[in-house]
Structure 1
Amino acid sequence: MSTGPTIEPTRRPGRRWAPAADFPYLAQTIAQVRGAVENVIEGKPEVVKVALTVLLAEGHLLIEDVPGVGKTMLSKALARSIDCTVRRIQFTPDLLPSDVTGVSVYNQETRDFEFRPGGIFANIVVGDEINRASPKTQSALLECMEERQVTVDGTTYHLEPPFMVIATQNPIEMEGTYPLPEAQRDRFMARVSMGYPSVQAELQMLDTHGARSPLDDLEPVTDAREIAKLIDIVRGVYVADAVKEYALALVTATRNSPELRLGASPRATLHLLRAARAAAALDNREYVLPDDIQALAVPVLAHRLLPAAEAQVARRTPEQIVADLLRTVPVPDPQRRRR
């Protein structure tokens, strides 16, 4: 990992900045949220950190792993710890798009149509086993996730901030599933895998989860209004031109790699920078380092990439390809400062 340019941001007129005093407050609040979630999710601090980074970066999270490793538990723990409105959508083959977005229903008493909101109308939306829904239902999430609004019968309804979709899917079981299309995967800021817990963490889980669910004892440590304030602070994190160019160079490398037939999109570059801002704020920093870009490159980029046939034959995963690109793309010179 690089040390990155040690940049003292220059306060230029017209540029939006978050006051330096805001960052200790953000770090302290998120540390409380992280502690609450880790009381439920044993031995997965990095996964929890990525989830909180995505929340502060106004993104959406895809959790992909085998059954029984805590994907849904992580989603519920995060939602409950921040005391936001939460809706859970169980994706099944017979789920309709109107179940997600809502539907206009004719009211006999008022003799008019009234809108009944679907499951997407919440601050935190937990989409369980998203790849079990039909492509038509999956596409109902596209407008919601990107534009944070829902259009039904020509009327647009805005989703209240903060808004985050946490979707889970099982990559192993293929029967009765519909793989997420590229456009849908590109809407997710990051993808993480839970993985199996360590022996010690699983032993501790047997003690804490044996009698009752730890979710029952989880108390909120903040609320939606405070999270909205923290998101606003993250928007003011400084990103030097050299760091922006480094992120763009890394994304461009995925488009030029012979091992990939589909590289990362411009949306991926935006997501990478937003996530890096949030990661810097979590570390109580008011500026982004190349280290932040490197730490988030795999979870933010890998799920958007499609390996070429040769890479598939060689059993090369997108994660491995991104890791190799991180070693080849030059890191900005620490002495170079672009205002």
Structure 2
Amino acid sequence: MITNFKELITAAKREQLPTLAVAVAQDLKILKAVKLASELGLARAVLVGNKAEIEAFAKEAELDLSEHQIVDVADKAEACLTAVKLVREGKADVPMKGLVETSVMLRAVLNKEHGLRGGKLLSHVGVLEVSDLDRLLVLSDSAMNIAPNVDDKAVIIENSLEVALALGLAEPKIAVLSASESVNEKMPSTVDAARLAAMNKEDGRFKPAIVSGPFALDNAVSKEAARIKGIDDPVAGQADVLIVPNIEAGNLLNKSLEYFAHAEKAGVIMGALAPIVLTSRASSEYSKMHSIALALLIHETSSKEK
């Protein structure tokens, strides 16, 4: 089981370097992340975007461009589509969002002719390294689906489960969060959580995971909080995966962990034909590099299963 980002980087390394297709690569942090990934032996990159700007930022980042390829595409939407096409055509392994709005990147991913549609709901899956935890924490969905219904949440769980399995968790413990651990008809997220837990118990939809809920955040991650509240459940206090009720809750939790708890982060979009490296434009080069490693590990794991 991978318990931190150092172990993640080690697990993601391959003898034959995979290729990363970076859409709108003219950004200092992006190119610093590519440099880190290259130095660590994770990947080489095809940098799609404005060539002159990429070269200028690469010089500032001290990135040796002789190890990478530049595809000169000035228009941002076209650059996104070009990067996605490289993956679709087998010329690259995973795409990465650069200095461009998420909506523009996703339009390329969902392009009917050249995109990476996988027939599933797309969702963002974050992975966080929190100093007080002995494990990585998977969090979804904090960046894409605004108000998912129970069927959407079921797919969000499936996408998160794929990430958890890639991290080496044999039986991921998944907590469906709300503001309370009791089912309350006036709080629809608690009802959804109970239904999702029932799906797994009744027909094993999310096997090999254990899915329980509703949980308040404290008794999902703290054994002591679960003990005090008398919650006897295999997930209580030991959750590997947190499923949030909506994007507001997820976004606030994600950024609170980053800015207050100083958690290290990685993020990918799941549900497409390949994991998509997607972080906030404000994220550090280390967050972006960790996201590259995560996407490559998921890609390798899913390729072996096919």
Query: Higher RCO, 1 or 2 (CA under 8 Å, sep at least 6)?
Result: 1
Structure number with larger C-alpha Rg: 1
TM-score using structure 2 length = 0.29
TM-score using structure 1 length = 0.27
